[in-house]
Amino acid sequence: ELCPKTSPLLKGTITINLSGLTINETESTKKMSLYWLSVPLYRRPSDCKCRNKTAIIVPFRDREQHLSYFLYYLHRLLHRQQLCYVIFVVDQNDDKPFNRGRLSNVGFKYASNLSNFDCYIIHDVDMIAEDDRIMYTCNRQVVHYTFLLSKFNYNLVYHGYAGGGIGYTKEQFEKTNGFPNEYYGWGGEDDDINIRINEKGFGIYRSPEPFYRFTMIRHGRDSGNPPYVGRMERLGKARQRIDVDGLNSLVITNLKEVKHKTYTRIYITRSRSCEPLREV
Ligand code: BGN
């Protein structure tokens, strides 16, 4: 039978203790998932038929320790929410500036090609939900989950912030043309999708519940992710570029997949032929 509308497994606030966790800890997560796995593709709640299928898409490079924290907490949360889900880690396997937008598009394309999910959540690896009532599901509006971050003292950092974790239905992602592919390095791509989502009339939903809080794992700036100097200028043209730069202009070459027990990792390397014009 269908799972209840509100999962009886929810416990509320989650205590997050990062110092006590090591990469080895994920081994226990692996064993746990084997126990719950009934169909290779999804982790299913053992006792009922899930109401929602969610794809978690994590743009990633070189943050193995963060990934083990992330998986450890997220698997527990999603299980308690009685969701069917798959976690896709999209790994930029080159030394070019990090391109979060493009990785998100690759993840969406890969996931939506694999199966029909109700919700595609693009999620940073360094953000961990502090409450299991933060539902990893979608809405009529595009859902922004990560607007109260420890890093910003749990305040919305500015009106229009759309960074961290954001959930789309297939239709929403396709109609907004996903993410821009042409932001290289840190900053701006999330402000760009905010424009897309509003221009296409979906709007962004942020829960009024006070428990929508996220811990952001502290880290220094990545050398492979320098601030993108051209981001202001690119953002100024965001409206004109919605239907030109995005899911529909994505070229995927050199994709490799590795299936782990608790997530699928997709390696994507930018080939020479689609090298971006270097903007300095
Ligand atoms: C903003 C960045 C976002 C980032 C947030 C939070 C830009 C665009 C030029 C104004 N936007 O300033 O990408 O997520 O800070 O750190 O840099």
The tens-digit pLDDT sequence of the chain (280 residues) is 888 999 998 999 999 988 766 655 555 555 554 433 333 344 455 668 889 999 999 999 999 889 988 988 998 899 889 888 899 999 999 989 999 999 999 999 999 999 999 999 999 999 999 999 999 999 999 999 999 999 999 999 999 999 999 999 999 999 999 999 999 999 999 999 999 999 999 999 999 999 999 999 988 888 889 999 999 999 999 999 999 999 999 999 889 998 887 889 999 987 544 444 443 3
Q: From ligand 1's centre to the CA of 232, what distance in Å?
A: 10
Q: Is residue 11 in a domain? A: no
Closest ligand 1 atom to 228 CA: 17
Catalytic positions, please? 124, 126, 186, 189-190, 216, 219, 221
Q: Which domain does 113 fall in, by range?
A: 54-219+226-273
**Do 254 and 273 touch, CB atoms closer than 8 A?**
no
Q: How many CA atoms lie within 13 A of 96 on its CB side?
A: 22
| 235: CATH | 3.90.550.10
Domain count, the chain: 1
Among residues 108, 165, 110, 117, the alpha carbon closest in space to that of 142 is found at 165
Closest ligand 1 atom to 163 CA: 14
Whether 162 is in the pocket of ligand 1, judged by its Cβ within 6 Å, is: no
pLDDT at 46: 60
| pLDDT single digits (tens) 189-215 | 999 999 999 999 999 999 999 999 999
Rounded to a whole number of angstroms, the CA Rg of the chain reads 18
| pLDDT single digits (tens) 116-154 | 999 999 999 999 999 999 999 999 999 999 999 999 999
Q: Is residue 3 in a domain? A: no
Whether 229 is in the pocket of ligand 1, judged by its Cβ within 6 Å, is: no
Q: Is residue 142 in a domain? A: yes
Q: Is residue 24 in a domain? A: no
Q: Is residue 262 in a domain? A: yes
Q: Is residue 180 in a domain? A: yes
Q: Is residue 87 in a domain? A: yes
pLDDT at 275: 44
